[in-house]
Amino acid sequence: MTTTRSPRVEPVSHQIPLVLALVPAAGRGLRMGGSIPKQFLSLGGEPLIVQSLRTLQAAPVVDQIVLAVPLADVEYCEKEIVLRHRLTKVTKVVAGGVERQDSVRYALSQVHSETEIVLIHDAVRPFMTLQMIAEVVAAAKKEGAAIIALPMRDTVKQVRVDGTIERTVDRAPLWLAQTPQAFRRDWIEAAHTKAHAEGIRATDDASLVEWLGHPVSVVEGSGENIKVTRPEDIVIGEAILASRMKGRESGEKSPKGRRSQSRRPRESS
């Protein structure tokens, strides 16, 4: 492979990143199984990690990106993920930790002290959109903290240890948390520092900010913004990709539809 430096590499938009994205990608993907951590698995021909980073790279509001990957993969990611795909906003690739919270904390230590907003997004949610990024960052600028989340759709049961239902929970106030999540830098730094000092563990970053006592807003996301977790999510992901491609094709063709009608590919049944 020949990799010559491209003269077309765009400069990052700010010397001091006002909005900095952190991408935890240092997990082992135990629920997915297999020998390759799921962030490196391909969906539609491109690794999940690249798809997530491409969307962040394309987001006008994101100034820089810090990526956390497994220690053994730091060099590989710098060359084969960041440089190869011209992800010019990625300014640092750091080694992650044992748990997601550790990976985020290590990446946070690289954040410039004048950064205003830290946006955190799991590498394994490749269907995040530019609109989600714009909305969650705007909400965090206004309110201090905001996350993409989805109102609960299914009926929720509280189940006893013996496997019988104790009660049906009112789902009206229940939302499922997704990423991206965006925070004032000082809030998220204080939350991670205090949680680490006190041994508090959480599966998302908003929980730690809530625990500090700050309000966190929700911005409605999409059912397509799945976290690729288990093997069946790859199948669901392929279907989401296919439907997006189809939408894009018909959207692109519609303005000149009359002229190009005869050349349209036949729809598969």
Closest CB to Mg ion: residue number: 27
Find which of ligand CTP, Mg ion, none residue 92 binds, CB within 5 to 8 Å per kind.
Answer: none
Buried b (16+ CB within 10 A) or exposed e, 155-182: eeeeeeeeeeeeeeeeeeeeeebbbbbb
Segment interacting with Mg ion, rule: CB under 5 A, options 22-30, 73-81, 152-160, 246-254: 22-30
Closer CB to ligand CTP, residue 144 or residue 180? 180
Residue 174 CB, shortest distance to ligand CTP, in Å, is: 21
Closer CB to ligand CTP, residue 25 or residue 90? 25
Distance CA 179, CA 162 (A): 33
Distance CA 265, CA 248 (A): 14
Nearest Cα residue to 39 out of 12, 64, 9, 76: 76
Closer CB to ligand CTP, residue 18 or residue 90? 90
Q: How many chain residues interact with Mg ion (CB under 5 A)? A: 1
Contact between 204 and ligand CTP per CB under 6 A: no
Residue 78 CB, shortest distance to Mg ion, in Å, is: 23
- Of 18, 20, 21, 39, the one binding ligand CTP (CB under 6 A) is 39
What's the one-letter identity of residue 91? T
**Site residues (CB under 6 A) for ligand CTP, limited to 110-129:** 122-124
SS3 104: helix
Segment interacting with ligand CTP, rule: CB under 6 A, options 73-81, 96-104, 126-134, 216-224: 96-104
The residue assigned the tokens 């044992």 is 98
Q: Going by DSSP bridges, is the β-strand pair 165-169/64-69 parallel, antiparallel, or unpaired?
A: unpaired
SS3 100: helix
Segment interacting with ligand CTP, rule: CB under 6 A, options 7-15, 93-101, 137-145, 242-250: 93-101
Contact between 99 and ligand CTP per CB under 6 A: yes
Contact between 27 and ligand CTP per CB under 6 A: yes
Find which of ligand CTP, Mg ion, none residue 96 binds, CB within 5 to 8 Å per kind.
Answer: ligand CTP
Q: Are 19 and 115 in contact (CB under 8 A)?
A: yes
Closest CB to ligand CTP: residue number: 27
- Give the other-Cβ count within 10 Å of 143's Cβ: 14
Strand arrangement, sheet containing 19-24: 90-95, 64-69, 19-24, 117-120, 175-184, 145-151, 217-220
Contact residues for ligand CTP (CB under 6 A)?
24-31, 39, 68, 96-100, 103, 122-124, 227, 229
Contact residues for Mg ion (CB under 5 A)?
27
